[in-house]
Amino acid sequence: MASLSNASPTHNQSFLFDQMPLLDLFFSGLGPATSPAWSLLTGGPSIYSRAVCIGGLLLLFGKHASEYLGTLLETYFSSKIEVPYTDEAYDMHIFWVYSQPFARSARTSLARIDLKSSAEPRSHAEKKSLHYSPCNGRSYFWYKCRLFVFNRQRTLGALGNTRVEACVSYFGRNPAVLRELFNECRRFYLESVKNKTCVFEHQGDMWKASKSMAKREMSTVIIDKKLKDMLLDDVSEFLDPKTRTWYTRRGLPYQRGYLLHGPPGTGKSSLCLSIAGHFDLDVYVLTMSSLNNHSLKSLFAELPQHCIVLTEDVDATAVHRKLDGSADASPIAGQNGPGDKKVSLSTLLNVLDGLASSEGRLLIMTTNHIERLDPALIRPGRVDIKLELYLADEDMINQLFYFVYSTPPKSNVRGDESERNVYQAGEERAGEECKLLPLAQEFVAKVLKLEFSPAEILSFLLANKHSPHHAIANVAVWMEKLQGERTKLTRTLWALDDDDD
Ligand SMILES: Nc1ncnc2c1ncn2[C@@H]1O[C@H](COP(=O)(O)OP(=O)(O)OP(=O)(O)O)[C@@H](O)[C@H]1O
């Protein structure tokens, strides 16, 4: 500045104007704002206005310079990993972020009611606890003595849908450091979903993890033992790596389809979840009514290897066959409005044939009305095994009774527990079963066979879970009531049918 003030005004001006294009070169938006201030600075009336101008210029320069330096650092001196919202890697990373102290101290956060909190509220005042997560902005954190930046942005997409983007960067050029962090997130996430079945649902054309639930033990689904064993053997053989090679060598699409059919409440969905739990597979739930041809194809193309695709109540799906008998290729109008496009049968059949599908997927379709399904949909190759689940027979009623009243075996007997304890537990269970035997026989004798679903019987037993004697005493009244309700419902449906005619 000293040299500037000593120089003559004309020399000053020419020097300063010489600098202007240089500044513009580095900070492109600066020129229009600085030129009036520049002329004021060089030809202004008083020292005060010059001081104000210099202050303003410094501020402006400082802002641009810091942004510029930030971009420069990010481009040349930092590493970054972006995480797409619809990928499970996003859930992995966010799950880890939520557990970190920096997430709780983020200056911009999103507040939500904590629906996933496992802590039982002990009083009214403890209900509806809040959960905060960093959003729309940067949060800085240290990991293994290095400074990282977590950046999450929520933006409104062109169609009005919210898009979330997240990335993590750190000041250093070695991407291995970031991958180490992501591996840590992965381990943390896997630990949290251990012994759980992850369920994915679709959001538009992409899959998104919707919940993880405790694995359902195969023993908790009460169906004919032979059917259960046959199903387990079949899935087990399919998942064997040798089977994959076998399929590949013969050029066959490595995938398998099952149809579970039977009356409501016979355990179709439960069986699907327990298969997922038994073989440690994730479940991808397809809700056909909210899909169109394009999204169905994209979703099948996005399936991971080895997973279960579950399509519940597939008879309710709006897939049609043309009058000439061919599969309808054009999307048909849906239930929600004339413009609503739905899945056509031909697209569904093509997708099931596996051209766009991933390797190793198990498709499980469930229906209450197999007779309503298009034969092409369930022909061998698309559906390899059809399994009928029945209303409760004598054996199932007996199993349901024990299921409710006997103490379940401890699934995890720790290694350090003495054999004596295990023996004792076995003795106790045998004693308990002896006591339950006459009660179970009495209950089985009273319940009508092949009349009630396992879900209905289970619901009745659960209402009497503290006393098998109560259950035995009340079962006749319960059956009468249920049958009365059914008759009433059937009459109403008939009346509605008559009105339609
Ligand atoms: N065979 C069974 N063994 C054990 N529990 C069963 C069985 N069937 C039904 N349940 C219980 O009844 C409830 C409903 O079962 P689930 O949803 O599996 O039946 P579903 O056949 O899929 O019924 P829907 O056809 O109406 O979808 C669940 O809570 C499940 O635990």
The rounded mean pLDDT for the chain is 82
Atom of ligand 1 nearest to the CA of 223: 1
Closest CA to 135 of 116, 155, 115, 117: 155
Instruction: Calculate mean pLDDT across residues 307-331.
Output: 68
For the Cβ of 273 lying below 6 angstroms from any atom of ligand 1, the answer is no
Which residues touch 236 (CB under 8 Å, ≥6 apart)? 279
Q: Ligand 1 center to residue 29 CA distance, Å?
A: 66
For 214: left if phi > 0, alpha if psi spans -120 to 50, otherwise beta; the answer is beta
pLDDT of 283 above 90: yes
Residue minimizing CA distance to atom 5 of ligand 1: 221
Choose one of 217, 261, 315, 458 to mutate for the ligand 1 pocket test, by most ligand atoms within 8 angstroms of C-beta: 458
284 within 8 A of 310, measured Cβ to Cβ: yes
Which residues, listed in sequence order, are joined to residue 381 by a DSSP beta bridge? none
Among the listed residues 351, 161, 204, the one whose alpha carbon sits nearest the alpha carbon of residue 291: 204
Ligand 1 centroid – CA 110 distance (Å): 38
pLDDT at 448 over 60: yes
Dist CA 226 CA 233 (whole Å):
11
DSSP string, 193-250: TTTEEEEEEEETTEEEEEEEEEPPPGGGS-S-HHHHHHHHHHHHHHHSHHHHHHHHHT
pLDDT at position 330, please?
47
End-to-end CA distance of the chain: 97
Average pLDDT score over residue span 253-257: 91
- Output the pLDDT for position 268: 96
User: Is 329 a residue whose pLDDT tops 60?
Assistant: no
Residue minimizing CA distance to atom 27 of ligand 1: 264
Q: At residue 392, does pLDDT exceed 70? A: yes
Atom of ligand 1 nearest to the CA of 220: 4
Which has more pLDDT, 4 or 381?
A: 381
Q: How far is the CA of 263 from the centre of ligand 1 (A)?
A: 10
Ligand 1, atom 24, residue with closest C-alpha: 264
- The residue that leads in pLDDT, 166 or 10, is 166
What pLDDT sits at residue 4? 41
Is pLDDT larger for residue 149 or for residue 318?
149
CB 256 within 8 A of CB 243: no
Of 170-174, 195-199, 281-285, 411-415, the range with the lowest mean pLDDT is 411-415
**Cα 454 to ligand 1 centre (Å):** 7
More confident residue, 167 or 54: 167
Residue 399: CB within 6 Å of ligand 1? Answer: no
Cα 221 to middle of ligand 1, angstroms: 8
**CA–CA dist 168, 228 (Å, integer):** 47
Residue 225: band (very low, low, confident or very high) from pLDDT cuts 50, 70, 90 = very high
Q: Which contacts of 323-329 are long-range, i.e. CB under 8 A and separated by 24 or more positions? A: 327/374, 327/376
Helix (H/G/I), strand (E/B), else coil: 177: helix
Identify the structural domains of the chain with CATH numbers, from first to last: 2-76 (no CATH), 79-114+129-192 (no CATH), 211-388 (3.40.50.300), 394-409+421-491 (no CATH)
Phi first, then psi, for residue 256 (nearest 5°) are: -140, 145
- Pocket of ligand 1 contains residue 367 by CB under 6 Å: no
pLDDT digits (tens, 9 = 90+) for 55-78: 888 887 777 787 788 777 777 888
Q: Tell how far the Cα of 199 is from the centroid of ligand 1, in angstroms.
A: 18
Residue 313: pLDDT over 90: no
Report which protein residue has its CA nearest ligand 1's atom 16: 267
Span 106-164, pLDDT tens digits = 888 888 887 766 667 778 888 888 888 887 788 889 998 898 989 888 777 666 667 78
- Two structure tokens written together for 303: 């399936």
Q: Does the beta carbon of 79 lie inside 6 Å of ligand 1?
A: no
Output the CA 95–ligand 1 centroid distance in Å: 31
Q: Which atom of ligand 1 is nearest to the CA of 455?
A: 12
Rounded distance from Cα 264 to ligand 1 centre (Å): 7
Q: In angstroms, rounded to a whole number, what is the distance separating the alpha carbons of residues 294 and 299?
A: 9
Q: At what angle do helices 345-352 and 293-301 cross, to 10 degrees?
A: 10
**C-alpha dist (Å) from residue 289 to 311, 312, 315, 334, 336:** 11, 11, 11, 8, 10
Per-residue pLDDT tens digits for 260-278: 999 999 999 999 999 999 9
Share of the chain above pLDDT 90, in %: 45
- Cα 296 to ligand 1 centre (Å): 27
Lowest mean pLDDT among 191-205, 352-366, 422-436, 485-499: 422-436
Q: Assign 5 a pLDDT band (cuts: 50, 70, 90).
A: very low
Sign, Cα dihedral of 92, 94, 98, 103? positive
Residue 255 has pLDDT above 70, yes or no: yes
**Residue among 223, 258, 266 to mutate when testing ligand 1 (max atoms within 8 A of CB):** 266
- Check whether 242 has a pLDDT greater than 80: yes
ipTM: 0.99
The Cα 207–Cα 304 span in angstroms is 10
Its pTM stands at 0.79
Query: What average pLDDT does range 81-105 have in this prediction?
Result: 89
**268 CA → ligand 1 middle, Å:** 6
- Confidence check: pLDDT of 420 > 70: no
The finding on whether 217 has its CB within 6 A of some atom of ligand 1 is no
Query: 123 pairs with which residues across the strands?
Result: none
What's the gap in Å between 463 CA and the centre of ligand 1?
16
